[in-house]
Structure 1
């Protein structure tokens, strides 16, 4: 049978650069391509205890029935209180809804706002899952170069002047995927002011912001929002477990109401059982202490990888030095192709993600590759960097 798919779906990139992530799970492969938190950080014993007590107290009927599309009430309240009290986000007009991962916030807001032909401004490089969501909506993706302290503001304003159908600016403000860069507070303010000046909305995707290893804390861009212009996309994947598939959106109540209707027409509601488990865990245990334990582990791994990259890579190769999150961005000298490096690494059983998959036009050449330090063991980091450096030398001749 011949299938006739919509043209815009032909533009979607395959998951994480094709077979790279599949290869990462193969025996003997060093998974620098992963986007996962370390399994060592999952609070298994605590969640086991929480689950037992929930079953004993509430019974199966309460945990396995249908729930509200906007999310389990106790979890919504706990997340809203944390965001307001700890991070300064949320005004009287804001509400919070629970989603099936942070990715669903991007998908719901895009469905709400974007028609085919509309423009979305993104950082470049940026998260491929968001790019594919925008492609699937038929959006014209307009990239702005990502600098170590955030978007190139001159290029951003030029685009805002040129384009007449911009629906929103998409930013990953803290420990960006894939670069590990964080947008400075000065640029966060400037991006918000430009959004006000040209009357566009901002989708702030911030799944890593609580995983700060070093440096000075920066509140979310949403904390600047006094008019409901910013939609905050958060996630429990990196601080609790990705398998529970829980995220959240904090936005103006009118936006949340419409996103809730779209969610109801999609998956009805996120997994109620895991929402109850997460709420009970947050109420019973010290989440900040758990996050501190996660970042202590990631500091060891990050520092180990950065030290080895510094020691082993040839001159002319640069890499980011993230203050948190999960990723390091390695940049080859101009004229070289990160896809070639990824292929050569794969031949030597090291999986890295080629930078081209993070571009608005994934057919262009990128000299970058993304490395992950949270998933591999110390031994894998040692061996993987050694192999990676050897592949870099071969690419550079």
Structure 2
């Protein structure tokens, strides 16, 4: 019998994972994933990009690259950070990663020891929890309202717990709730952070997917002490299958990050990096993002209007100003995980909310994604969910 590590022995398939596997059936209307709309992937343009790469660079395009990443792509990212996130940085400050998920894993490995603490919003991104779990940390869920983490609550936590090594936040169109921190909340948060020896991981994969709100300054743009690590991604604005993200941090963190990444994968796909860089040079990324935003805003509106029409009045939901998700809150007596089999019987699915809380509980929530399903299926799927919820509340 194979002997596994202590951590490997903790790994097991969850009942939620098994339920979500059923959503792969084509007849299921799935609001469960965070998938971008595939019809917006720039396939025809990418044919031209690939041809240009091979004509200009030939076999060098598929040779090994540096761990830090392809310089032309990092130059494009630096331009994007200035324009879209108000951050002045240079290619040397940037590491290209295999999606943001890899960055989350590496950061926890280099910043946190076993039984030290990671503070998070409540709720927070379940993928981050998965990435952090191998370190075997403790989690503190910082009280969070409709404007983000409550600074006074965070201050109280940091003042009495010096084991907090990392704070993980998603200030823009948070996954799973869809909420966005206003500027005043961001400033208050940074005022707290500047008092303590702690690193902030600002995860911003959705910051350019916005509908009703002007771009707000990122936490990184307010960072005067080098405490904020910024994570960006091409997955939501370009093509997720390329698995391209980036990390921006102070030189000390970048040094450790690169050394750890070398042990993990040597470097992110060199050809994929070229594809992203060439696309930015040959086509208008901003126009592409504008097209994405127009479609997603339409689908958000349709989903929210459908929930108003078909959901019981006791069920509430967020109206995000960007991103891919809305967050549904049920009456306390209902459990979203327990309702999931009934929804699957009607061929519709969501992600139960409990898994977004690292310390469990809070079963009366679920997350819905509106970016991936066409309009007719959004309406039909919400109608089916409404039938399940109405029936559950009638008991």
Normalising by structure 1, what TM-score?
A: 0.95
Indicate the residue corresponding to 1:186 in structure 2: 184
Indicate the residue corresponding to 2:119 in structure 1: 121
From 193, 196, 202, give the equivalent of 2:194: 196
Contact conserved, 2:85 with 2:216, CA < 8 A, in 1?
A: no
Once residues 131 and 298 of structure 2 are traced to their aligned partners in structure 1, the CA distance between those partners, rounded to angstroms, is: 34
Once residues 178 and 129 of structure 1 are traced to their aligned partners in structure 2, the CA distance between those partners, rounded to angstroms, is: 11
For residue 249 of structure 2, give the secondary structure of its aligned residue in structure 1: strand
Tell me the CA shift for residue 53 of structure 1: 1.3
* Mean Cα deviation higher: 184-193 or 317-326: 184-193
For residue 335 of structure 1, give the secondary structure of its aligned residue in structure 2: coil
Count of residues paired in the alignment: 394
Give CA deviations for 1:147-166 in whole Å, capped at 9, x if unaligned.
21101233222211221111
Indicate the residue corresponding to 2:103 in structure 1: 105
Indicate the residue corresponding to 2:50 in structure 1: 51
Indicate the residue corresponding to 1:25 in structure 2: 24
Matches within 5 A, 1:170-319: 170-319=168-317
Once residues 16 and 255 of structure 1 are traced to their aligned partners in structure 2, the CA distance between those partners, rounded to angstroms, is: 37
For residue 194 of structure 2, give the secondary structure of its aligned residue in structure 1: helix
Tell me the CA shift for residue 87 of structure 1: 2.1
Gaps of 5+ in 2: none
Indicate the residue corresponding to 1:366 in structure 2: 363
Once residues 13 and 198 of structure 1 are traced to their aligned partners in structure 2, the CA distance between those partners, rounded to angstroms, is: 37
Q: Say yes or no: does 1:395 pair with 2:392.
A: yes
Once residues 13 and 328 of structure 1 are traced to their aligned partners in structure 2, the CA distance between those partners, rounded to angstroms, is: 28
**Which stretches of structure 1, 4 residues or more, deviate above 4 A after TM superposition?**
12-16, 91-94
Q: Say yes or no: does 1:5 pair with 2:2.
A: no
Indicate the residue corresponding to 1:139 in structure 2: 137
Normalising by structure 2, what TM-score?
A: 0.96
Give CA deviations for 1:230-282 in whole Å, capped at 9, x if unaligned.
00011100011110000000111221121111111110000110100110000
Once residues 124 and 287 of structure 2 are traced to their aligned partners in structure 1, the CA distance between those partners, rounded to angstroms, is: 30
Tell me the CA shift for residue 113 of structure 1: 0.5
Indicate the residue corresponding to 2:166 in structure 1: 168
Please provide the CA RMSD for this pair: 1.8
For residue 288 of structure 1, give the secondary structure of its aligned residue in structure 2: helix
Cα 1:179–1:213 shift into 2, 3 Å: same
Contact conserved, 1:350 with 1:384, CA < 8 A, in 2?
A: yes
Give CA deviations for 1:277-314 in whole Å, capped at 9, x if unaligned.
11000011111111000000101111100101011111
Indicate the residue corresponding to 1:149 in structure 2: 147
Contact conserved, 2:96 with 2:247, CA < 8 A, in 1?
A: yes
For residue 226 of structure 1, give the secondary structure of its aligned residue in structure 2: coil
